[in-house]
Amino acid sequence: MGAGHPAEGQQAHDSTTVLVVADDRKVVSLVRMYLEREGFHVIAASDGARALDLLARHRPGFVILDLMLPAIDGISVCQQIRKGSSVPILMLTAKAEEVDKLVGLQVGADDYVTKPFSPRELVARVQAILRRTAAHGRPGSRLVQGPLVMELDRYEVFVDGREVQLTMIEYKLLQTLMEFPGRVFTRDQLLDHVYAFNEVAITGRAVDVHIGKLREKLADDPAQPRYIETVRGVGYKLLKAGRAG
């Protein structure tokens, strides 16, 4: 589900390579300079079609994606990427409204930065997301709750033996819940575990959006939960194996 995980039988993502997708040359140049100072290799695309081509050919370990792109917008590009890859995605936008952030995160982005941004903060977010991604893959480790299985070394999730494709945020939410079955997490606590930086203007509504998507993929009915239970007025918990509702 992220950098370092071989997807669909292809070679692993290169965690040192960052794909920057933006049609503003000044933005690309600035981001490239600061990332290269930290040892990253940067490849760039000015439109969505080129970005998808570079993603397939170079397998970068991280994508920085501008929302405003010619022809195909960043949201559509993000959706296309998520159809075949769970590489971490940081979106850039000039729009500060919460609805834009929710839409971006709902299609699989891992974080959001609003322009104008500090290039140092941008690099720090990239590094933090990559650290969190790496921390969620402990070789040989597995989480099991009844028919729900997470293979942490391979970023794979199975339900009744069927593999389920999750975005990185959905994956991290599920892992947090599975590591502490029966424990109730508030939305703020889940934000702390999942998002690299709390100062990003993301609310508990974003958690609700992702939990809803996660339930759909797990075929988990909120009215009669098999896995994730809503604790009214508080947050969510993972039901221990053998329990329901």
pLDDT (tens digit, 9 = 90+) per residue, 67-93? 889 888 888 899 888 877 778 899 888
Nearest to 172 by CA among 140, 128, 123, 113: 128
Beta-carbon-side half-sphere exposure of residue 163 (alpha carbons within 13 Å): 8
**Domain 142-238 in CATH 3.40.50.12780:** no
Residue ranges for the chain with pLDDT beneath 70: 1-14, 95-106, 133-141, 153, 195-204, 242-245
The pLDDT of residue 123 is 92
What is the predicted pLDDT for the residue at 114?
A: 84
CATH class of the domain defined by 14-135:
alpha beta
235 closest CA partner among 214, 215, 205, 213:
205
**Of 40, 83, 75, which is closest to residue 58 (Cα–Cα)?**
40
Give the integer Cα–Cα distance in Å for 193 and 69: 31
Q: Do domains 14-135 and 142-238 have the same CATH topology?
A: no
Give the per-residue pLDDT at 24.
Answer: 92
| CB atoms near residue 29 (< 10 Å) | 14
- Within 10 angstroms of residue 23's Cβ, the number of other Cβ atoms is 14
- What local confidence, expressed as pLDDT, does residue 135 receive? 56
What does the pLDDT read at residue 129? 83
What does the block give as tokens for 113? 């930065």
Axis-axis angle for helices 204-218, 187-194 (nearest 10): 80
What pLDDT shows up at residue 140? 43
Q: Under a CB-based contact definition with an 8 Å cutoff, are residues 21 and 65 in contact?
A: yes
pLDDT for the residue 6 = 33
pLDDT of residue 11: 47
Domain range annotation of the chain: 14-135, 142-238
